[in-house]
Amino acid sequence: MLCRNLAGSWAVLLTLVGVVGSAFVQAQSQPKPNSPQVKDAKPDDPLRVVAERKKLHVGACLGPASLKDTDGAGVVARHFNLLVAENHMKWSFIHPARDRYAFDFADELVAFAEKNKMKVKGHAFIWHGATPRYLNDLTADELRAALKDHIKTVMTRYKGKVASWDVVNEALDDRDGLRKSLWREKLGEDYIAEAFRIAHEVDPEAVLIYNDYGCEGLGEKSDRQYDLLKRLVKDKVPVHQVGLQMHLNKDKVPPAEDVAANVRRLAELGLTVNISEMDLVASSFPGELPAKLEAQANIFGEIVRACAKEKGFRGVTFWGYSDKYSWRNRRDTKAYPLLFDEDMKPKPAFFAVREAFE
């Protein structure tokens, strides 16, 4: 009888403990009044994850050395979802002789992107630079045929693997009209439209891009770019997107609101827009290094945040990922132009861009 009473008492006690414990757990799981709301982004989210929540790309250009760097390649795979060959898909690299193509690095880049679920942008078919000497010896008809063969050969090889292409790069002169170049001299000013039509015929699914510098904000050159693209759209030339390069230093930073306004007016033409080659020489700012890096971070963050709010904006590609491999750092070893330092550690600019995507 005593044992039965003790057992009954223990059962009641255990029941009470369970009820109290359950109530405590429920109370702990409920948000406290006025408690801060947790954002979707986590402090350690990869950059590409945060960008993808907004359906945007965040890219980087690579060369052979930067892709072979094991630590660097790991940084790229974790944080970027779009790749561009820094040089090795330009004409003189990928097609160095009239009867010879060199696809090795482009193939390697595309394979790396496929392995890591990234997209690839081709850069670039027509540019006044990286033009092999043999093109200068061709007649106009031969040059036109060579252009068509080059675009067809390269695009066909990467069809379904390269989603977008910089078809024409830097065609505008800094002062007036179109730049003087082999292409303009021999093919006339319609060479731009001609190149886009060839590319569209080869791969109707590819996004075709006009890319230039000095047209990022509002101003005389960006007005001329706008007028050029307006004419191309009116003439039903298959241009789909505009690349704003964004190579910056402290004396060459457009206001973020101007860049956003430029994106907006280009989108009104039916085009999408990407920031295509972003870097910023931090050493151009005054003060000690921490202050320089903070100034760089503020500008990156302001511009990306302003653009990310625009419906026509598709993303940003940085011209490199680590200061170690930047073309700006080759000219000035203390340029500090990118998101990661030479030891592959994220800089304040990295966190500012990630926050701008949130």
Q: Which of 170, 194, 216, 302 is catalytic?
A: 170
- Let me know if 185 is a catalytic residue: no
Say if residue 330 is exposed, middle or buried (CB neighbours under 10 Å; 0-12, 13-18, 19+): exposed
277 is a catalytic site residue:
yes
Catalytic member of 86, 194, 216, 277: 277
Vertex 113: Cα angle to 54 and 328 (nearest 5): 80
Catalytic residue ranges = 170, 277
